[in-house]
Amino acid sequence: MLKFKNTKTMRRPMQMLMLAGALFALTWSGSPARAEDEPSAAPEEPCLGCHGTAGMEKTLKDGSVLKLHVPGEAFAKSVHGANGCQSCHTDIDPAAHPPSTKDIASTRAYSIAASEACKGCHQDKVDEWKSSIHGILIANGNVRAPVCSDCHNPHAVMKGAAAQVENVACKNCHGEIYNAYLGSVHGKSRLASKESYAPLCSGCHTAHAVQPTFGDAPRAACTGCHADVLDQHKTWLPNAALHFEAVSCPACHVPNAKRKVDLMLIDQNDKAAGTKQIGVPLFEASLKSGGKGIDARTLWNLLQTLNNEDATEKTKLRGLLTVQNAPDAHRLAHKDQAISDCRTCHSKGSEAFQSVSISLVGPDGRRVGYGANADVLNSPMSLGAVKGFYAVGGTRIAALDILFILAVLGGASVGIGHLVLGWILRRYGLANGHKHGSDATGGSASA
Amino acid sequence: MPRIYIHPLPVRIWHWVNAAGFVVMILTAIQIRYVGLIDVISFRTAVLVHNYTGLVLIANFFVWLGFYLFSDRIRAYLPEINPRKHFIGSFRQMYFYGYGIFKGEPNPFHLSIYRKFNPLQSMTYQVVLMLLVPIQFYTGLLMWDAKHFASQIDFFGGIRVIDTVHVLIFCALVFYLLVHVYLGTLGHTRLAHFKAMFSGYEDVEEEEAPAVTAAATGPHPTSERPRNPVTAA
């Protein structure tokens, strides 16, 4: 039911009369007001006769309060001001409005339903949104994901407003990430100058077709602007192309971030590198049975199970050295501060390899991460499981170190043993004192 | 003491470039693999030196291969296809190194231009030069530009598999090198074989009495004339 906070005021006969007169005048004036070059300070929308009143709201069935107030001046200045109310609110019959009762379950349900109106003019954007992680979440019943009106206040949307760093709507839900971004080289540039062309959120994630950050997508966003970055790295970084495949940009360009290795379970023929949902039930079952994270043997067994004879698509793990959390991924520093000391990752026991996750694509397209023991990276079992990720030195297999020591000791002991044997034989009179041996016919030659 | 020209110049150049190169490869490999534990030079420098030295060694390998492919001296590398002969020769050589050498017994193997390796050497060099070293070069090449060779790396099971093979052969070559150097000291003097590898001439003593049959040890030096014999007293 409609409720006015200033009900006492509204009961005053004189003011009611004035309001009725204003409504009549506005209705009589014919077509809705059009905010052209100079938006009207007093919009001529009849609806605003009621909805322009501050505090107008309605309590819905679930107890939530739907705000019905539309600031008239802001609306008139907005890009929608010229369209009039009914261009979006097509379901409203002015003759029968307000209805005594309207079945609105919740404010969220109203917002989701009302966003359908955007299709009338912005079909392409709505289609992009529907393909995005936000749209998919909504379609899957997640009411917390944003719809159009969560990012664009339909009654106050201004052209170019979203391009201002202070106004990006993403911060409403992703505040921690937004704050991290503000401290980044990109955010600082934006804050310092309105003319900066450093990316806002949408610069990397797009505004409407936002996809889960998985696989190569984040790097593609970086190289979208930094196109020659691979060539730049090739000037000093050995195997630069391999680094680009196995190391995310923030892993080096956010120097203070905590790093981890994310082992992405992918179909080996999946060119998109990780967009198919595979293996989730198995990993769920494995976690429930263990609870301490997946160890090397379990991981190997899981991959064996996934790739059994009946498997139509072979599955493999693709490793990516990245940062542990999303805010860190956005704290990109100036390139002069980026990590360039190879020992950060290539020394045994480095911090980067102490945290390992195994990620799968979940039902809604987002990654589902499972903790794994760090030994999955340096166990001999990793030869069968983690074939595609290896950092020389950093994730070396300890058993091979033992083999190397044995090779050195064994090689040295051949000569030492031979000398000792000769000494013993001479000591006990079993040899005739040839200290150097007697290669009388020159029977030993090098290759 | 008579001498026989056993190591032609291309072989000597190849050998010492190979020797120096492998020492560099092993040292830089240790630095690369154990960075943090050993920090003599930077990781990046070690990788670059390792890579470029590896490329030099690959080119050098083809010097060796080319020389022997286009020389009749390749007969030195032809394997003994009779297992019985090979086994007997190997056993006698092991006996010699393990005991006979201390007793002053003559080496059962007789050196010639076309037969310069005893059975143990022959087997070892075939494994090392025709199997381990080529695989080592190949796996190293794959890792040198892993992205470029990604399809081949995937074919063999991934970068970790390639690296593990590389490290296994590294261990084998470290063992081989240590033993090789020690055996090199078992000439009639400690440095005889090393000097020969510089001069090309190996000292050979006049034979008093053959210790083993020619079948087991190869032809006598004088029983087989090289096409271009170069000997010196």
Q: What CATH number corresponds to the domain at position B50? A: 1.20.950
Q: Is residue A442 part of a domain?
A: no
Higher pLDDT, B74 or A169: A169
Asked if A436 lies within 8 A of B188 by C-beta distance, the reply is yes
As a whole number of angstroms, the distance between CA A313 and CA A266 comes to: 10
Output the pLDDT for position A34.
Answer: 38
Is there a single domain that holds both residue A10 and residue A138? Answer: yes
Q: Is residue A444 part of a domain?
A: no
For residue A408, give the nearest of B43, B125, B174 by CB distance.
Answer: B174
Asked if B186 lies within 8 A of A436 by C-beta distance, the reply is yes
Q: Is residue A154 part of a domain?
A: no
Name chain B contacts of A399, Cβ cutoff 8 Å.
Answer: none
Output the pLDDT for position B168.
Answer: 97
Q: Which residue of A has its CA nearest to B43?
A: A342
Q: Is residue A149 part of a domain?
A: no
CA torsion B19-B21-B27-B29 (nearest 10°) is -120
CA torsion B44-B45-B47-B52 (nearest 10°) is 140
Is-contact B18 B64, C-beta < 8 A? yes
Is there a single domain that holds both residue A423 and residue A387? Answer: no
Question: For the residues B170-177, what does the mean pLDDT come to?
Answer: 97
Does the beta carbon of A14 lie under 8 angstroms from any beta carbon of chain B?
no
Does the beta carbon of B229 lie under 8 angstroms from any beta carbon of chain A?
no
Q: Which residue of A has its CA nearest to B104?
A: A438
Is there a single domain that holds both residue A108 and residue A82? Answer: yes
Q: Is residue A152 part of a domain?
A: no
Asked if A348 lies within 8 A of B34 by C-beta distance, the reply is yes
* Structure confidence at residue B146 as a pLDDT band (50, 70, 90): very high
Amino acid at B197: M
Does the beta carbon of B146 lie under 8 angstroms from any beta carbon of chain A?
yes
Is-contact A229 A222, C-beta < 8 A? yes
As a whole number of angstroms, the distance between CA B100 and CA B107 comes to: 8
Asked if A387 lies within 8 A of B159 by C-beta distance, the reply is yes
As a whole number of angstroms, the distance between CA A79 and CA A236 comes to: 50
Token pair recorded at residue A351: 């911090």
Q: Is residue B178 part of a domain?
A: no
Output the pLDDT for position A407.
Answer: 97
Output the pLDDT for position A16.
Answer: 39
pLDDT digits (tens, 9 = 90+) for A362-377: 767 777 778 888 888 9
Kindly provide the b/e burial profile for residues B28-48, where b requires at least 16 CB atoms within 10 angstroms of the residue's own CB. bbbbbbbbeeeeeeebbebbe
As a whole number of angstroms, the distance between CA A262 and CA A389 comes to: 10
Query: What is the CA angle B48-B50-B56, rounded to 5?
Result: 105
Asked if A407 lies within 8 A of B121 by C-beta distance, the reply is no
Q: Is residue B181 part of a domain?
A: no
**Chain B nearest C-alpha distance from A400 (Å):** 7
Is-contact A382 B148, C-beta < 8 A? no
What DSSP character marks residue B112?
B
Q: Is residue B38 part of a domain?
A: yes
Is there a single domain that holds both residue A309 and residue A413? Answer: no
Does the beta carbon of A410 lie under 8 angstroms from any beta carbon of chain B?
yes
Q: Is residue B207 part of a domain?
A: yes
Interface test with B, best of A404, A409, A446 (most B CBs within 10 A): A446
Output the pLDDT for position B139.
Answer: 97
Is there a single domain that holds both residue A221 and residue A275? Answer: yes
Is-contact A44 A26, C-beta < 8 A? yes
Interface test with B, best of A252, A317, A423, A441 (most B CBs within 10 A): A441
Total beta-carbon pairs less than 8 A apart between chain A and chain B: 214
Output the pLDDT for position A291.
Answer: 55
Asked if B160 lies within 8 A of A241 by C-beta distance, the reply is no
Task: Using 50 as the pLDDT threshold, list the residues of chain A that sit under it.
Answer: 1-43, 272-273, 275, 289, 437-444, 447
Q: Is residue A342 part of a domain?
A: yes
For residue B110, give the nearest of A236, A346, A441 by CB distance.
Answer: A441
What is the extent of the structural domain holding A295? 213-396
pLDDT digits (tens, 9 = 90+) for A323-332: 998 999 999 9
Within 8-37 of B, beta carbons closer than 8 Å to A belong to 11, 15, 32-37
Does the beta carbon of A143 lie under 8 angstroms from any beta carbon of chain B?
no
Output the pLDDT for position B112.
Answer: 79
As a whole number of angstroms, the distance between CA B27 and CA B144 comes to: 17
Output the pLDDT for position B187.
Answer: 85
What is the extent of the structural domain holding B162? 3-168+187-232
As a whole number of angstroms, the distance between CA A346 and CA A271 comes to: 28
- Answer yes or no: is the ipTM higher than 0.90: no
Does the beta carbon of B203 lie under 8 angstroms from any beta carbon of chain A?
yes
Is there a single domain that holds both residue A94 and residue A172? Answer: no
Output the pLDDT for position A294.
Answer: 81
Lowest mean pLDDT among A383-397, B183-197, B216-230: B216-230
Q: What's the pTM?
A: 0.78
Highest mean predicted confidence (pLDDT) among A255-259, B50-54, B184-188: B50-54
Amino acid at A426: R
CA–centroid distance for B31 within its chain:
24
Name chain B contacts of A445, Cβ cutoff 8 Å.
Answer: 6-7, 111, 116-117, 121, 193, 196, 202
From residue A140, alpha-carbon distances to A116, A134, B184 in Å are 16, 10, 75
Is there a single domain that holds both residue A409 and residue A268? Answer: no
Output the pLDDT for position A101.
Answer: 67
As a whole number of angstroms, the distance between CA B175 and CA A312 comes to: 45
- Secondary-structure breakdown of chain A: helix, strand, coil percentages, each rounded to the nearest 5: 45, 10, 45
Q: Is residue A443 part of a domain?
A: no
Domain C-terminal end among A99, A114, A144: A144
Does residue B217 carry a pLDDT above 90?
no
For residue B178, give the nearest of A238, A386, A412 by CB distance.
Answer: A412
Q: Is residue A93 part of a domain?
A: yes
Is there a single domain that holds both residue A221 and residue A356? Answer: yes
Provide the domain count of chain B.
Answer: 1
Token pair recorded at residue B23: 């020492």
Is there a single domain that holds both residue A188 and residue A93? Answer: no
Is there a single domain that holds both residue A240 and residue A300? Answer: yes
Is there a single domain that holds both residue A217 and residue A263? Answer: yes
Name chain A contacts of B158, Cβ cutoff 8 Å.
Answer: 387-388, 390
Is there a single domain that holds both residue A360 and residue A377? Answer: yes
pLDDT digits (tens, 9 = 90+) for A385-437: 888 889 999 999 989 999 999 999 999 999 999 999 999 988 888 776 555 54
Provide the domain count of chain A.
Answer: 4
Q: Is residue B18 part of a domain?
A: yes
Q: Is residue B182 part of a domain?
A: no
